[in-house]
Amino acid sequence: MANRYYVIDFDSTFTKVEAFDVLADIALAGHPELPLRKKQIEEITKQGMDGAISFRESLEQRLALLPISRPHLQTLVSQLKSKVSESFKRNKEFFSTYADQIYIISNGFREFIEPVVTEYGIKPANILANEFVFDAQGNVIGFDKNNPLSANGGKSERLKNLNLPGDVYVIGDGYTDYEIKHAGLANKFFAFTENVERHSVASKADHIAPSLDEFLYLNKLNTAISYPKNRISVLLLENVHPIAIELMKSEGFAVETYPAGLEEAELCEKIKNVSVLGIRSKTQVTAKVLDHANRLMAIGAFCIGTNQINLTEATKKGVAVFNAPFSNTRSVVELAIGEIIILIRRIADKSLKMHEGRWDKSAKGSFEIRGKKLGIIGYGNIGAQLSVIAESLGMKVYYYDREEKLALGNATKCRSMNELLALSDVVTLHVDGRESNKNLIAADQFAKMKNGVIFLNLSRGHVVDIKALRENILSGKVAGCAVDVFPYEPIDNNEEFVSELRGLPNTILTPHIGGSTAEAQENIGMFVPGKLMDYINTGSTSNSVNFPNLTLPTLENAHRLIHIHNNVPGILARINQVLADHGINIVGQYLKTNELIGYVITDINKGYDQEVIKKLRAIEQTIKFRVLY
Ligand code: NAI
């Protein structure tokens, strides 16, 4: 493609911003007339665009309002360097590979454009822009009026003078970029919409490029990214946190959002072209939904549980599922700590009495938590973090876990749950919800606890025999308790909460809100997109709920083949046979299986022919195959 030239606009294309706006802020910083002058500049720019004044007049008038000097330009350059468009950053290699064929064209000024774009390998001689005129002190006193770019139609004029011997493709966000094609000086115009979307410009374009990825893909120039992100459609349901939407959008995905969940039939229709689905707890991803999901690569559950997803079917179809297992750990821990203190001081009762007008000042039955023995059952994410924080408050921590767990800080491991029950002043449950944990704490276990024990369940409702708990509260054996989870929980806020625990003394009841905080929601909103993007960009499946977990090194100077297959023997050998037959060098290979699927990642040297890809795709038992680079 030696005879094709790529002409790229600078403001709002190469960089996310209009350099002149940023320069105005810098040059006028601290100036008493900053708001007024910015407004005037805006007005002049508008007049220039509307044709009320010429571009040169607009430039003169704007510069007259700005006291620009060299240090301002230095500041501007460093700011612009950090504001290069994301897709330009991703595709840095393109600029150096095609340096001879790439031109930057701008009505802006060489003094700030050149230092930014040459870092990407663009040749100074290929930068077409205006130039400032300075006085001896380094203040801008004007611009080179002989430069056609300081006048209307300047971009076309400069290109005409260049007389490029081949096809010219222009990419930019503004009308002046389209004008180049209109003047007959470009074969194609691509409207770049990553930073600003102007309907009047986009409607005139040969193609719309939501990112440089798309431009490169369309023109078969992609060296850094195998598939443009804007072609990957992401559907986010159930009002997922705005930060998640922002993260997925800024990665360049085509994101569609819905405030509510979708019923099965609707979802079946909607999911056909979706590559990534994001849900919370309400949307049911059934086998039928998955049957309709022709392009689905991954599901992000923006919550902890994944019961709403048919994981077996998802796995069989090669769809990786991710959730946010630790995003609300801290929230649960903080609530547990707060409740332990409140209960051990009998605050729940005291507060209730005060609301009834009763003043009952007494220290009876009130204790500090310092020096008390905290028994944690289930030393997982939550249990372990609670251990650390409780200890820092002066509690002596004991724990029991069915699995071997490392004691954090000075915590002491108990050999059995009974041992823990017998010694603890406070017993708190943080086990998972497995079926066998039903009634883990029942009459027998309460009998083994100390008299006056404080008891907390913030794990799962079925773990405690509620009747037994009630009896032990009434008998005074349990001096205080906090329960956040129940064997049956109302479906929504309209349903009454019915429980034998209602009205009991020193008993805090909360509606399953242990993990419900703004911070937890935000953590989830950040965590899940991170996992999804990692999977899409690198193939990494760490923390996937249903895929064999593989954490992969970043891809450097190689192509990555991602092969998902039914877990039958011999597939790895067949992959490697295909590669050997074509003399391909394997740079790295990773395999992990679970009972349903095998996940093989093979990094290979860059040079290979497309036949290899076809053969790999054709290997029997292949579920999904993709190439990353
Ligand atoms: P995790 O899976 O990291 O830890 C659970 C631990 O319990 C594991 O170490 C496991 O080996 C242990 N365990 C399971 N059964 C046991 C038994 N019978 N005896 C002793 N140890 C046992 O889970 P994580 O993230 O720490 O969560 C703990 C619990 O908290 C879960 O049930 C989870 O559903 C619940 N949770 C509740 C929230 C709320 O809003 N109240 C919010 C977040 C989690």
Domain with CATH 3.40.50.1000 in the chain: 4-218
* Average pLDDT estimate for 201-227: 88
Residue-level pLDDT at 2: 56
* Average pLDDT estimate for 173-182: 93
Q: Which of 94-98, 374-378, 539-543, 625-629 has the weakest average pLDDT?
A: 625-629
Judge whether residue 377 has pLDDT over 80. yes
Answer yes or no: is the C-beta of 473 below 6 A from any ligand 1 atom: no
- How far does residue 430's CA lie from ligand 1's centre (Å)? 4
Top mutation candidate among 418, 430, 527 for ligand 1, by most atoms within 8 Å of CB: 430
As given in the structure block, the two tokens for residue 474 are 């009434």
Domain with CATH 3.40.50.720 in the chain: 232-322, 329-516
* Average pLDDT estimate for 341-364: 95
Q: How is domain 329-516 classified at the architecture level of CATH? A: 3-Layer(aba) Sandwich (3.40)
Q: How is domain 549-627 classified at the architecture level of CATH? A: 2-Layer Sandwich (3.30)
Strand order across the 478-483 sheet? 412-413, 396-400, 373-377, 426-429, 453-457, 478-483, 507-509
Residue nearest to atom 33 of ligand 1 (CA): 459
Tell which residue, 42, 111, 107, 37, has the closest CA to residue 80.
Answer: 111
| 3.40.50.1000, 3.50.50.60, 3.20.20.70, 3.40.50.150: CATH of 4-218 | 3.40.50.1000
Q: What is the DSSP letter of 293?
A: -
The answer, as to whether pTM is greater than 0.95, is no
Beta strands 507-509 and 478-483 are: parallel
* Average pLDDT estimate for 290-295: 96
Top mutation candidate among 403, 413, 431 for ligand 1, by most atoms within 8 Å of CB: 431
Tell which residue, 236, 232, 227, 275, has the closest CA to residue 254.
Answer: 232
Q: Is 264 a catalytic residue?
A: no
pLDDT confidence tier of residue 437, bands split at 50, 70 and 90: very high
Q: Which residues contact 403 (CB under 8 A, 6 or more apart)?
A: none
Interatomic CA distance for residues 585 and 608, integer angstroms: 10
Residue-level pLDDT at 498: 97
Judge whether residue 1 has pLDDT over 70. no
Beta strands 276-279 and 298-301 are: parallel
Q: Is 512 a catalytic residue?
A: yes
The amino acid sitting at 327 is S
Q: Which residue of the set 512, 574, 582, 617 is catalytic?
A: 512
* Average pLDDT estimate for 461-487: 97
Is residue 332 within 8 A of residue 382, CB to CB? The reply is: yes
Residue nearest to atom 25 of ligand 1 (CA): 381
Answer yes or no: is the C-beta of 437 below 6 A from any ligand 1 atom: yes
Q: Is 119 a catalytic residue?
A: no
pLDDT confidence tier of residue 305, bands split at 50, 70 and 90: confident
Q: At what angle do helices 70-81 and 110-117 cross, to 10 degrees?
A: 40
Topology (CATH level 3) of domain 232-322: Rossmann fold (3.40.50)
Residue-level pLDDT at 50: 79
Instruction: Report helix, strand or coil for 495.
Output: coil
